[in-house]
Structure 1
Amino acid sequence: MNLKSAWSRRSFLSSLGVASGSLLTSATAKAEGMFGKKPKAETKRLVDGNPIVPITSGLGSTGDIYAELGVKPLINIVGTVTVIGGSVMKPEVMELIRRGNEHFVLIDELEVAAGKFIARLCKSPAGYTGLVTGGAAAAMVVGYAAMMTEDLEERIKLCPDVATFPRNEVIIQKAHRYAFDHQIRQTGAKLVEVVTREEMIAAINPKTVAIHFTNIQSDRGQVSGPETVAIAKAHGIYTFNDASADVPPVSRLWEYPAVGFDMVTFSGGKDIQGPQASGILIGKEELIHWALLNMSPQEDRIGRCCKVGKETIFGLLKALEIFVNQDYDETLRMYDARAKLISDAIAKFGVTARPREFNPNALGNVTPRYSWQIDPTKLKITGQDVMQGLADTKPVGIGSFGAGAGGMRGRDPEAEARMKAHPELAQQRRRGNGPGRDPNTFGFAVWQLKDGEDQIIADRLVEIFSAAPKA
């Protein structure tokens, strides 16, 4: 893996052009002065004060920054999950991140301009705009803070001490409770659980500020998105739709706000392939303004920790533009070609490709999944063994078994007793399989592979199957 940077022909010519331009401008000014003409005011070209340079000492000088820190990088066959870094940004996105670092700028001014860009690109309804946030979770924090504080500085500074606020309760369907409602609770808001439509209406009171809708779990609740919006509008309260992992299809970027949700958030670091620590909040202009008041660069407010840099803003905008304008059918053909390369390499072992699994209308994490069937009459190896073999690959691992494998879970004193009482749970956790999973199959996603990584996977699978005992 060679990650060394170097002077390129393009950067050299660019630098030469800047130098030549400066010399010519200076010479022209002097010449005009000599002939009695009033020199024109110089229009200085804004240039990058931090050119790309080779690193010759310290961190990065070997070309392999991961090895220098003793960390094993991964080929992503899991998906756009935060625990392994989300997604890989396209070259154009990286270039705009670099350009975003060229100059200082008023972050609030940049955010407002970026919000208008997002609204145009995402066909937002009249009166809506956007905001680049530090991820979809951060969008929830500043969004709910905005609803409760409005633009009142005293409230903004008090949040999350919201007990004295006139409205501080958020209604949520019991089926919509999930790990990220923690971000609502951290604003100080009180969650009120309901199950039915009737319960939702009955729960509304003068303290209610909003109804939360978890889009990816919308098939579990009894109240749909449009019904939620209608109920909220009838009672003068807000609605928030968390659709963080729910594009593609790209049309959801404008369909969900068009339903009438006051705020909708999408992750910028999943299939949109923007910076991992980026999110998009689309909503009513007044609410978005209040959200910006509740976040960095402002100080003494709950969203100060939700900082977004100028580089992230530009990178996210470019990634979103590419995502909106892509030909998704062509993208699917690319995924199929990657899977076929792998299938062709392992067919000689009696391992056959299964039908592609793809539901373009799934609620979230919409992407094809590819899987393969091992013939147990030819090889004595399970699908779990194969996935473990991929994960154990060095120096670059292929896939991962998640945060649990790294020990990043809080201590649960009761876990051991539960495992003893229900040993089948322990077995499922070790194997990563749910009930009914065929042990002779394995599969993964290919959407986050970089060019050439499909061949690396194919070669590694050939090694694994070549070493497997024959049946």
Structure 2
Amino acid sequence: MNLKFGWSRRSFLSMLGAASGSLFAGREAKGSELLVGEHEHSLSKIDGNPIVPITTGLGSTGDIYAELGVKPLINIVGTVTVIGGSVMKPEVMELIRRGNEHFVLIDELEVAAGKFIAKLCKSPVGYTGLVTGGAAAAMVVGYAGMMTEDLEPRLKACPDVTGFPRTEVIIQKSHRYAFDHQIRQTGAKLIEVETREEMIAAINPRTLAIHFTNILSDKGKVSGPETVEIARKHGIYTFNDASADVPPVSRLWEYPAIGFDMVTFSGGKDICGPQASGILIGKEELIHWALMNMSPQEDRIGRCCKVGKETIFGLLKALEIFVNQDYDATLRMYDARAQVISDAVAKFGVKAQPREFDPQALGNVTPSYSWMIDSSKLAITGHEVMLQLAATQPVGIGSMGADSGGMRGRNPDANSDKSTAKAAKPKRAERAAKNPNTFGFAVWQLKEGEDKIIADRLVEIFSAAPKA
């Protein structure tokens, strides 16, 4: 199919919707067969109705983004929260729909889901799981649980931890990051250290735990196993934030097996579950205390970390698919997507660079694809190409502002607006300055057919680019 970008926004999205609809149709038919005959549930599906057409109000035009005046994006950035994380598979969407069929005691469902997670993720004996409202929420309720235990006065008081016996969390200075805010919001106090000796010396009767930021493992002087060893000897907890660190899938069981008391993974990254979901795997008692600190419980610090029944079912299905996938086949799919783009731009002298892939990278593990522009033929930089992709209508291809979105606060101590702007300069722009003739992006979150859309758009860009 030769896609033209002169289409209207609605016709463009309708085409994508039709493609998705055909995929859903097959899945839906197969899924519906499970609802009849010997598998039919005795309860009526009052709320979990099949997908129905919307004929009035929001959604009736078939283009909900246009109705709200928001420009949708083709994701070439990666599994970042600011553009929606990842896209759920049809089976996950179906489980979300089925999760809406009945009311249920959320705590009971969470406990059952935790057992499902523990079995699927080969968790150590005595460990279980918890579906949270993202990995950040897992940190909030996890650390709150460590401090409050099951004591009602503490549960109600947190984050006012006055009188709590242990409220200090040791963290390597090199492991400080934006998400340790979630530890601090529980009332816990972070104690920075740099070496193993400093870590041991910092332990005192008020020490609660040692926090380990997995994606920064190579930046610190104390490894994960060493952290666990030190904590065990001194009777304190350990928490490993491995939010973006699967694949490889084996990390789901390798990190708990090291002995971390709690490990969290994001459900909305490559696991492709609901964006507002996370997984907390840990010792049963600690997970119980964490659940006591979160919704549906009231008067708790984690009441705002609400997880619905639909999200729980969606996350479980996404995790099941993720664990059971053939990752070699997944990599071949990524390569095929990149090849579609490479074939389209080759006639302009734009050459594909060798694929870069480190399966043991610490976070956001995925192949990296890039292309080199022949500056003797085209007078356009890689950065300019990325800008034009982002400016594509009616659907943008990536976003040059994905890491800020206009939501950075003002710095009252800054000397001028220019200094603030410089501090907020995207890393992508810095890379482009170093490699002006190259451009690259992620292909792992593309939906079927979007590689062809990108290829066609690049053909337009290079056809219109000035000759060198």
TM over 0.5: yes
Letter in 2 for 1:113: A
Of 436, 441, 446, the match for 1:444: 441
1:470 matched residue in structure 2: 467
1:44 matched residue in structure 2: 42
Displacement of 1:405:
5.5
Displacement of 1:47:
2.5
In structure 2, C-alpha distance between the alignment counterparts of 1:17 and 1:150, rounded to whole Å = 42
1:433 matched residue in structure 2: 430
2:66 matched residue in structure 1: 67
2:5 matched residue in structure 1: none
Of 455, 458, 468, the match for 1:458: 455
Displacement of 1:402:
3.1
Q: 1:274 touches 1:315 (CA, 8 Å); kept in 2?
A: yes
Letter in 1 for 2:76: I
| 1:8–1:401 Cα change, 3 Å | closer
Structure 1: unaligned runs, 5 residues or longer:
26-42
Cα deviation digits, residues 424-448 of structure 1 (max 9, x gap) = x579659712497210000001000
Letter in 2 for 1:73: P
In structure 1, C-alpha distance between the alignment counterparts of 2:343 and 2:33, rounded to whole Å = 49
| 1:450–1:208 Cα change, 3 Å | same
In structure 1, C-alpha distance between the alignment counterparts of 2:428 and 2:92, rounded to whole Å = 38
In structure 2, C-alpha distance between the alignment counterparts of 1:347 and 1:310, rounded to whole Å = 49
1:30 matched residue in structure 2: none
In structure 2, C-alpha distance between the alignment counterparts of 1:139 and 1:271, rounded to whole Å = 18
Number of aligned residues: 449
Cα deviation digits, residues 247-289 of structure 1 (max 9, x gap) = 0000000000000000000000000000000000000000000
The secondary structure found in structure 2 opposite 1:371 is strand
2:352 matched residue in structure 1: 353
After TM superposition, list the pairs within 5 Å mapping 1:17-32 onto structure 2. Answer: none
In structure 1, C-alpha distance between the alignment counterparts of 2:30 and 2:362, rounded to whole Å = 48
Letter in 2 for 1:116: K
1:212 matched residue in structure 2: 211
1:154 matched residue in structure 2: 153
Letter in 2 for 1:329: D
| 1:96–1:222 Cα change, 3 Å | same
Q: 1:428 touches 1:434 (CA, 8 Å); kept in 2?
A: no
User: Is 1:384 the counterpart of 2:392 in the alignment?
Assistant: no
After TM superposition, list the pairs within 5 Å mapping 1:65-464 onto structure 2. Answer: 65-403=64-402, 406-415=405-414, 417=416, 419=418, 425=422, 429=426, 432-434=429-431, 437-464=434-461
1:36 matched residue in structure 2: none
Letter in 2 for 1:166: P
Letter in 2 for 1:330: A
In structure 2, C-alpha distance between the alignment counterparts of 1:231 and 1:257, rounded to whole Å = 16
Q: 1:171 touches 1:211 (CA, 8 Å); kept in 2?
A: yes
Displacement of 1:418:
8.1
In structure 1, C-alpha distance between the alignment counterparts of 2:59 and 2:432, rounded to whole Å = 46
Displacement of 1:320:
0.4
Displacement of 1:401:
1.8
Q: 1:133 touches 1:281 (CA, 8 Å); kept in 2?
A: yes
Structure 2: unaligned runs, 5 residues or longer:
1-12
Letter in 1 for 2:65: Y
Letter in 2 for 1:458: A
Deviates more, 1:10-19 or 1:380-389: 10-19
Q: 2:386 touches 2:400 (CA, 8 Å); kept in 1?
A: no
Letter in 2 for 1:286: E
Cα deviation digits, residues 187-237 of structure 1 (max 9, x gap) = 000000001111101110100010000000011111100000000000000
In structure 1, C-alpha distance between the alignment counterparts of 2:346 and 2:355, rounded to whole Å = 16
Letter in 1 for 2:255: Y
In structure 2, C-alpha distance between the alignment counterparts of 1:244 and 1:14, rounded to whole Å = 31
In structure 1, C-alpha distance between the alignment counterparts of 2:214 and 2:272, rounded to whole Å = 20
Displacement of 1:165:
0.1
| 1:455–1:222 Cα change, 3 Å | same
In structure 1, C-alpha distance between the alignment counterparts of 2:36 and 2:264, rounded to whole Å = 44
Letter in 1 for 2:45: V
Q: 2:115 touches 2:128 (CA, 8 Å); kept in 1?
A: yes
Displacement of 1:163:
2.1
The secondary structure found in structure 2 opposite 1:97 is helix
| 1:104–1:439 Cα change, 3 Å | same
The secondary structure found in structure 1 opposite 2:291 is helix
Letter in 1 for 2:445: Q
Q: 1:83 touches 1:402 (CA, 8 Å); kept in 2?
A: no
1:39 matched residue in structure 2: none
Letter in 2 for 1:98: R
